[in-house]
Chains A and B, each alone.
Chain A
Amino acid sequence: EPEVTQTPSHQVTQMGQEVILRCVPISNHLYFYWYRQILGQKVEFLVSFYNNEISEKSEIFDDQFSVERPDGSNFTLKIRSTKLEDSAMYFCASMKWDSGELFFGEGSRLTVL
């Protein structure tokens, strides 16, 4: 069964460093999302992406964040200069069409020291 894959599963970085989290959505899906979940807390919407551009973004998704779909298969989230409070699980999700059903990857755990 097709699935959303995310790499790395866990990344440890120093504060101020740049981080890129990678996602390979399901191949025929058209809508892509990034969410984050601080340990034990709610799943927070960051950004949605459709037709090679950002569709929606939250207040969390400030200038330190960017997304890219560089080659038609990967979907990346870049954090330019990480802060301690960026430590969280980051989930990528994709959706085939405007069906509402999101398919999630297993997440990338980011630890900022």
Chain B
Amino acid sequence: SQQGEEDPQALSIQEGENATMNCSYKTSINNLQWYRQNSGRGLVHLILIRSNEREKHSGRLRVTLDTSKKSSSLLITASRAADTASYFCATDDDTGGFKTIFGAGTRLFVKA
């Protein structure tokens, strides 16, 4: 299966702390993305990292990619209560088809 698998499944932190979520996947990829989903809502794209990149930043988000270990991490710095959501990694494989596969997600709860 191409799916990414997130770790941990759930994470509870205090506002101001950093949150780190990890994702592992199984096959070669073109890119890896992170999405956010508020409860009952659609997914929102956060950041995309290509297979030839190792690190990417966007505001308070930092994503790393280690293709040798087939893993990625998402770091949210200085978390806020509004960051409470589920976070999913998603991968596009390198077979040329259009098939973005999502992992099971990490549920992040930031306590005010």
Contact = CB atoms under 8 A, between A and B. Distances in A.
B43 A45 contact: no
B44 A104 contact: yes
B25 interface: no
Q: Tell me if B's interface is mostly helix, strand, loop or mixed.
A: strand
A44 B88 CA distance: 12
A15 interface: no
- Interface size grouping (class) on chain A: 20 to 34
Contacts of A41: 104
Given A42-B105, A100-B30, A100-B33, A33 B45 contact: no
- Interface size grouping (class) on chain B: 20 to 34
B100 A102 contact: yes
Contacts of A31: 98
B41 A101 contact: no
A45 B101 contact: yes
Interface in A21-50: 31, 33, 35, 41-45, 48, 50
Nearest to A55: B98
Interface in B35-76: 35, 37, 40-45, 48
